[in-house]
């Protein structure tokens, strides 16, 4: 029995979408062996639990652990640092082939350290598609890193079996370009393909392995509607129901992804998924920039949730997702960094601040997003997206002791008006450097710059050492291949346009 008391100048017990978030001044949370047993005024709990070790001096803002609802890894060795500058997703994604390889354990440790430092205690981790031997090694090492550092994870491996280079027929696209270039592209594509049976076999084994581990959820992940054929999508829906597993997939991240379905089906991908029985409370989307009003209604009716990834959508020219419209319909929304934070780090606090400022549509008749809503997205919203449900996301008796202490004096130095709502100040100003202490499952995993479960400096040294060797030739070949394909991919989409003629479109509502 390891009992501790966490004390805060403010303690956010539960974020509320309607602005009625539960906040206690000079409050405390008592946890025992990883589960919260009581919350209330510090003076009261201090009298009731005398001698309990107390974390926090009463000068911190105590919040539930934040939840990153969509992420892929990389972090410290980001695509940008590997030479993959921002650009439109359809060509950017292939330039990702030219990233230098890095041991998945070190890669995960790099990103997990950054995320813990920003108060993140649970992550929706979507591993990139690849050949079976590679995805198995990567998954095992990634999950090992999560276990070693102590972060909660909803883990999935992306699966795709079509539209490898453009949204449409891969062979027809390759037949339309120079045969020598097509041959190289075909070899590259073939090296990333996996049979669905192999994918499911490995995913099922992972799911069995982590059944008893309440810090790990294994999910299914068709990478996106356009990347998986409808027969397999239907199978994934069936497997999800029969095995009680969640599904996480990218959804209309760019306008081309919506146009792909509209061109072949005359309806949106969300509408198709609905017909395939692939929507529901166990299903979450990432992005959703180009959702229509009807799509949003379907999501609300079926309980399908979504991760909002504002930085990534800006960096990859995807647009701005219609988040206020989602919230208006009570669609559950989480928030994620998608390995592409606005400053190329994994600072979820910063992502929250960006989202707060991004959703301020012109016109007094339009509602802007509130600090309460942002905090709800980063906690309770994320708990639903990641399928952990009510076990995390709030500080209440019975929930997991995932708790973050943020230095209030740092956020407000040197003065704060007494009538500024504390939640407004928190979401507007807190960044990762303000995080003091992070507790997951009752264990302090980060305290005043130090990680308790791992040797940060040793991990940084190992990453530097691995990347100090000369860049492998294959990396340059992959970069060259992506660059040569670039104009052909742009040409493929030349006449893919939305009906409206705006030159500066931010989302797909119509
Ligand atoms: Zn993503």
What is the architecture of the domain spanning 66-391? Alpha-Beta Barrel (3.20)
Spacing, Cα 307 to ligand 1 middle (Å): 10
Counting every residue written for the chain, the total comes to 510
Tell me the pLDDT tens digit for each residue of 227-280: 999 999 999 999 999 999 999 999 999 999 999 999 999 999 999 999 999 999
pLDDT of residue 1: 59
Spacing, Cα 250 to ligand 1 middle (Å): 6
CA angle in degrees (0–180, nearest 5) for 5-9-13? 65
pLDDT of residue 504: 56
The DSSP code sequence of 93-121 is HHHGGGSPP--HHHHHHHHHHHHHHTTEE
pLDDT of residue 77: 76
Spacing, Cα 155 to ligand 1 middle (Å): 13
SS3 content of the chain, % helix, strand, coil (to 5): 45, 20, 35
Domain segments of the chain as ranges: 3-64+397-454, 66-391
Spacing, Cα 338 to ligand 1 middle (Å): 5
Q: Which of 94, 91, 107, 194 is nearest to 478 (CA)?
A: 94
pLDDT of residue 82: 86
Q: Which residue pairs from 276-282 have beta carbons closer than 8 angstroms and sit at least 24 positions apart in sequence?
A: 276/230, 276/233, 276/234, 276/237, 277/234, 277/237, 278/233, 278/234, 278/236, 278/237, 278/247, 279/304, 280/304, 281/305, 281/384, 282/240, 282/241, 282/245, 282/246, 282/247, 282/387
Spacing, Cα 379 to ligand 1 middle (Å): 19
Tokens of 336: 């994620």
Spacing, Cα 408 to ligand 1 middle (Å): 32
pLDDT of residue 133: 80
pLDDT of residue 75: 67
Spacing, Cα 7 to ligand 1 middle (Å): 36
Spacing, Cα 70 to ligand 1 middle (Å): 6
226 phi and psi angles, rounded to 5 deg: -75, -15
Spacing, Cα 351 to ligand 1 middle (Å): 15
Spacing, Cα 486 to ligand 1 middle (Å): 21
Spacing, Cα 339 to ligand 1 middle (Å): 8
Tokens of 90: 């359809």
What is the architecture of the domain spanning 3-64+397-454? Roll (2.30)
Among left, alpha and beta (phi > 0; psi -120 to 50; other), residue 177 is beta
Map residue 409 onto helix, strand or coil. Answer: helix
pLDDT of residue 132: 79
Spacing, Cα 73 to ligand 1 middle (Å): 10
Q: Which parts of the chain register pLDDT below 50?
A: none
- Asked if residues 434 and 406 have their Cβ atoms less than 8 Å apart, the reply is yes
pTM score: 0.97
Q: Cα separations (Å) of 250 from 247, 257, 391?
A: 10, 10, 25
pLDDT of residue 192: 87
Q: Fill in the DSSP letter of residue 215.
A: T
For residues 63-80, one letter each, b for 16 or more C-beta atoms within 10 angstroms of the residue's C-beta and e for the rest, the string is bbbbbbbbbbbbbbbbbe
Q: Which of 468, 422, 443, 481 is nearest to 116 (CA)?
A: 443
Strands 3-14 and 53-55: parallel
Spacing, Cα 225 to ligand 1 middle (Å): 13
Spacing, Cα 19 to ligand 1 middle (Å): 30
CA angle in degrees (0–180, nearest 5) for 470-472-473? 120
Strand partners, 41: 27
- Asked if residues 126 and 72 have their Cβ atoms less than 8 Å apart, the reply is yes
Q: Fill in the DSSP letter of residue 266.
A: S
Spacing, Cα 451 to ligand 1 middle (Å): 27
Q: Fill in the DSSP letter of residue 400.
A: B
Spacing, Cα 286 to ligand 1 middle (Å): 7
- Asked if residues 153 and 143 have their Cβ atoms less than 8 Å apart, the reply is yes
Spacing, Cα 126 to ligand 1 middle (Å): 7
pLDDT of residue 397: 98
CA angle in degrees (0–180, nearest 5) for 381-382-383? 90
Spacing, Cα 401 to ligand 1 middle (Å): 28
Spacing, Cα 227 to ligand 1 middle (Å): 13
Spacing, Cα 465 to ligand 1 middle (Å): 28
Spacing, Cα 42 to ligand 1 middle (Å): 41
Spacing, Cα 61 to ligand 1 middle (Å): 31
Spacing, Cα 66 to ligand 1 middle (Å): 18
pLDDT of residue 507: 63
* Residue ranges with CB less than 5 Å from ion ligand 1: 338
Tell me the pLDDT tens digit for each residue of 30-89: 999 999 999 999 999 999 999 999 999 999 999 999 999 999 977 677 888 888 999 999
Spacing, Cα 287 to ligand 1 middle (Å): 8
Spacing, Cα 309 to ligand 1 middle (Å): 8
Q: What are the strands, taking DSSP E only, across 331-490?
A: 333-335, 403-407, 435-440, 443-447, 450-451
Spacing, Cα 344 to ligand 1 middle (Å): 14
Q: Fill in the DSSP letter of residue 420.
A: S
Spacing, Cα 232 to ligand 1 middle (Å): 20
Spacing, Cα 47 to ligand 1 middle (Å): 48
H or E segment to which residue 248 belongs:
strand 247-251
Spacing, Cα 386 to ligand 1 middle (Å): 14
């Amino acid at each position: 029995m390891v009992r501790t008391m966490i004390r805060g100048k403010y303690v956010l017990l539960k974020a509320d979408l309607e602005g009625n978030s539960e906040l206690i001044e000079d409050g405390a949370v008592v946890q025992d062996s990883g589960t919260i047993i009581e919350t209330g005024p510090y003076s009261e709990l201090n009298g009731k639990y005398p001698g309990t070790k107390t974390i926090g001096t009463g000068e911190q803002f105590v919040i539930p652990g934040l939840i990153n609802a969509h992420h892929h890894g990389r972090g410290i060795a980001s695509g940008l640092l590997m030479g993959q500058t921002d650009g439109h997703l359809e060509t950017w994604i292939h330039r990702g082939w030219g990233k230098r390889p890095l041991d998945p354990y070190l890669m995960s440790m790099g990103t997990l350290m950054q995320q813990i430092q920003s108060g993140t205690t649970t992550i929706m981790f979507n591993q990139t598609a690849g050949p079976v031997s590679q995805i198995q090694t990567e998954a095992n090492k990634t999950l090992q890193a999560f276990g070693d550092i102590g972060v909660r994870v909803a883990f999935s491996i992306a699966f795709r079996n079509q539209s490898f280079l453009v949204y449409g027929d891969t062979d027809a696209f390759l037949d339309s370009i120079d045969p020598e270039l097509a041959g190289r592209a075909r070899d590259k594509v073939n090296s990333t393909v996996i049979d669905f049976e192999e994918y499911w076999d490995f995913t099922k084994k992972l799911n069995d392995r982590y059944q008893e581990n309440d810090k790990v959820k294994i999910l299914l992940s068709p990478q996106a509607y356009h990347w998986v054929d409808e027969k397999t999508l239907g199978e994934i829906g069936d497997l999800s129901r029969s095995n009680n597993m969640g599904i996480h997939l990218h959804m209309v991240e760019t306008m081309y992804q919506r146009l792909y379905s509209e061109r072949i089906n005359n309806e949106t991908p969300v509408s198709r998924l609905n017909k395939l029985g692939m929507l529901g409370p166990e299903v979450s989307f990432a992005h959703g920039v180009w959702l229509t009003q009807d799509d949003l209604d379907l999501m609300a009716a079926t309980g399908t949730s979504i991760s909002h990834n504002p930085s990534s959508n800006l960096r990859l020219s995807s647009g701005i997702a219609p988040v206020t419209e989602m919230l208006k319909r009570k669609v559950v929304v989480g928030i994620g960094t998608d390995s592409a934070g606005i400053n190329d780090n994994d600072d979820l606090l910063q992502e929250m601040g960006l989202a707060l400022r991004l959703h301020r549509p012109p016109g007094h008749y339009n509602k802007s997003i509130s600090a309460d809503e942002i905090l709800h997205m980063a906690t309770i919203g994320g708990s639903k997206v990641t399928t952990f449900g009510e076990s995390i996301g709030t500080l209440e008796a019975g929930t997991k002791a995932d708790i973050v202490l943020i230095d209030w004096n740092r956020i407000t130095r040197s003065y704060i008006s007494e009538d500024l709502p504390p939640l407004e100040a928190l979401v507007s100003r807190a960044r990762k450097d303000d995080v003091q202490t992070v507790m997951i499952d009752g264990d302090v995993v980060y305290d005043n710059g130090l990680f308790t479960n791992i040797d940060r400096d040793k991990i940084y040294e190992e990453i530097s050492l691995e990347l100090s060797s000369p860049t492998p030739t294959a990396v340059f070949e992959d970069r060259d291949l992506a660059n040569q394909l670039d104009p052909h991919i742009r040409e493929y989409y030349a006449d893919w346009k939305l009906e409206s003629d705006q030159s500066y479109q931010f989302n797909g509502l119509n």
